[in-house]
Chains A and B, each alone.
Chain A
């Protein structure tokens, strides 16, 4: 018997159905996301709603099924479908009951767009889905891809939920990513590559639109050209290709982190009204909750994010009750589920009870800052809060360095080696440096994207230290992969500077 013949026979029996099912699953998630986003962001244009549909659908799925497994509701296709539909109906009911009539009226215009726009959207989405699921886009698979993000989700579906024997899977794999990984086993296909590729294609489109909005030039054609070049630069860079093709949680985290920063910054461009901005904050709340679940240390990033996002014009209630508390609630639920209702004894665990407590203390401190201190005390200091955040993160790193110098320096050495030689960074650091050099002029300002990108860098150093055990050199080391997640942010921050320098150093907003 030849193995290739056997594989060919299996392929003949399952591949066509798997392809169709995966494509349909992505399409349904997109449609679901579109309806949800039309309810949450009714002031947004049709185009913007379409652009964010897939990540919104994916997010709603992750949150809903996360609650299913936490509440020990049997995790099967039927319960998942019912729960997702119920969640959507609940969101619609809440919005219809609590919001102004005009919002309801706007939601009624769900399909109200120019026919040509609708046709283009359908063609583009379907093409992206077909390309994503075709399998012709290459992927990288490693041990973690096959077990943490394939076998573990398969077992969640098989056993209808979490069980203590999942053990280190529970403490090392972000529950959100595991939930995404269950989609193939819920809906009858075999692999998760298409889901990730679709997110990447959608993300590249969002990256282009975001860059377009930052270009201060008069001519549309120039703005489109620069946006396309920006997208091409990102999609050709080695670290982005590495992270986007590798079937792990890092790509999802990088994409959702970018989307969160984009939404927090939303409204700094011309032509964007207050209502659209409010809609963006709603979506941001959803995405940030999902981000907190995508990797096991996601809750720590949420602390950094809300503190850093507080420099933007986002209300303290939105930051505290819309973003921080839900993430905190999700972390408590998960920790309770795995540490209180289960016995997990393993030789090594990333997430421990102590780390959860530390994370919750950090979240509580951020909550106190937002509700008590922000805009009330230390007002002068808060005017320069961005640089203070960087100073704070440097101080945390210095503290870690002083506390355990040998281990910290070992990690730092691994980071440097990875960025310079072995971590798959290619010429990306030089690319970013060139862009920053090009943008240096009198109008150069440290902006929100810089803050988020550089703060993330110091955050990654500190979080990787929490892993215990020295970081390794090589692209696959988790410390390196955590750092790679910042690539879209870093490039975007640099690109904004350079396009604004060319357009006279001012954004549209500043020109006004």
Chain B
């Protein structure tokens, strides 16, 4: 024992440095192996929260949309549906009202909150985006989460909006929603691009919710306008 203590006293520092080095290497090896498996990592050299790989994952289209619409005039449909919700019966079948309560309201408010100047134009109300047009657009990803949190931009009294959004996101009624971009020239959707855009929401054919289409003027007139 005495010998051991003496040895520890003489070589303790070397032993400690050795152990620390081994621990550092072992930890580094485990981190290298496990870290990206635990949670996806990304570099952010473009200085944007939005990363180019997101559409493949279908994530966070709302993180790039503000850069496309902020400060611009955006023409939308004028067919928002919204009615007062009866909170007296919490057990009432909420899903019956989902389409109506949802339609257009959150899209419009999100665009406004992104500092777009929204102009509702009822001449756009009957527009239907065909599958062919959708095929010519770029899919920016799933927007369900974006819409889930859109309660923050609504002015719905009694905050039932929040209940609704939770309900919506956690039930099978909520179909996967998308944000699509249609532009004749990608530059037109950049911050310095065209000053006027079109934002058309369209109900999902099945389930609840809506897709949102952002068009520049040339694409809109060529491909979408009746």
Contact = CB atoms under 8 A, between A and B. Distances in A.
Interface stretch (B25-33, B71-79, B199-207): B25-33
B13 interface: yes
- Give the interface SS of chain B, mostly helix, strand, loop or mixed: helix
Contacts of B15: 438
B16 A426 contact: no
Nearest to A222: B13
Contact of B153 (A146, A165, A193, A498): A165
A233 B191 contact: no
A441 to B, nearest CB: 8
A25 to B, nearest CB: 13
A10 B163 contact: no
Interface stretch (A46-54, A238-246, A257-265): A238-246
B204 to A, nearest CB: 22
Contact of A140 (B39, B64, B159): B39
B30 A426 contact: yes
Interface in B16-44: 16-17, 19-21, 23-24, 26-28, 30-31, 34-35, 38-44
Contacts of A4: 52
A448 to B, nearest CB: 22
Contact of A6 (B41, B115, B138, B151): B138
A424 B34 contact: yes
Nearest to B14: A502
Contacts of A475: 38-39
Select the residue from B27, B28, B181 with max chain A CB neighbours within 10 A: B27
B192 A13 contact: yes
A226 B13 CA distance: 9
A225 B60 CA distance: 44
Select the residue from B26, B64, B162 with max chain A CB neighbours within 10 A: B162
A139 B44 contact: yes
Interface string A204-221: 000000000000010000
B24 A233 contact: yes
A438 B18 CA distance: 12
Contacts of B140: 3
Interface string B165-193: 01100000000000001111111011110
A108 interface: no
Interface in A127-185: 133-143, 145-147, 150-152, 154-155, 158, 163-169
Q: How large is the interface on B (under 10, 10 to 19, 20 to 34, 35 or more residues)?
A: 35 or more
B24 A232 contact: yes
Given A142-B39, A346-B163, A11 B153 contact: no
Select the residue from A18, A138, A142 with max chain B CB neighbours within 10 A: A138
A13 B191 contact: yes
Interface in A306-336: none
Select the residue from B44, B48, B149 with max chain A CB neighbours within 10 A: B44
B181 A431 contact: no
Contacts of A434: 19, 23
A6 B186 contact: yes
A427 B32 CA distance: 12
A435 B43 CA distance: 33
Interface string B140-162: 10000100010111111011111
Interface in B46-78: 46-52, 55, 59-60, 62-64, 66-68
B27 A236 contact: yes
B48 A140 contact: no
Nearest to B187: A9
Select the residue from B149, B151, B163 with max chain A CB neighbours within 10 A: B149
B27 A233 contact: yes
B113 interface: yes
Contacts of B68: 10
Contacts of B181: 1, 3, 6
Given A1-B138, A15-B48, A434-B23, A165 B152 contact: yes
B48 A345 contact: no
A168 B162 contact: yes
B153 A155 contact: yes
A405 B67 CA distance: 51
A3 B138 contact: yes
Given A238-B30, A242-B39, A135 B47 contact: yes
A255 interface: no
A65 B206 CA distance: 45
Contacts of B24: 229, 232-233, 236
A141 B162 CA distance: 24
B90 to A, nearest CB: 10
A18 B21 CA distance: 39
A137 B153 contact: no
B89 to A, nearest CB: 15
Contacts of A7: 46, 48, 50, 52, 64
A428 interface: yes
A91 B41 CA distance: 41
Nearest to A140: B39
A236 B31 contact: yes
A478 interface: no
B35 A229 contact: no
A347 B43 contact: no
B13 A136 contact: no
Contacts of B13: 217, 222, 502
Nearest to A498: B16
A190 interface: yes
Contacts of B92: none
A344 B159 contact: yes
Interface of B: 12-13, 15-17, 19-21, 23-24, 26-28, 30-31, 34-35, 38-52, 55, 59-60, 62-64, 66-68, 113, 115, 137-138, 140, 145, 149, 151-156, 158-163, 166-167, 181-187, 189-192
11 contacts: A3-B52, A9-B186, A10-B189, A142-B39, A167-B152, A167-B162, A226-B20, A236-B24, A237-B27, A345-B162, A431-B23
Given A165-B155, A241-B31, 16 more contacts: A4-B52, A6-B190, A7-B48, A135-B46, A139-B43, A151-B62, A158-B113, A163-B152, A165-B153, A190-B47, A191-B49, A242-B35, A242-B38, A343-B158, A346-B163, A347-B163
Interface of A: 1-7, 9-11, 13-15, 18-19, 22, 133-143, 145-147, 150-152, 154-155, 158, 163-169, 189-191, 193, 217, 222, 225-226, 229-230, 232-233, 236-238, 241-242, 245-246, 343-348, 424, 426-428, 431, 434-435, 438, 475-476, 498-499, 501-502
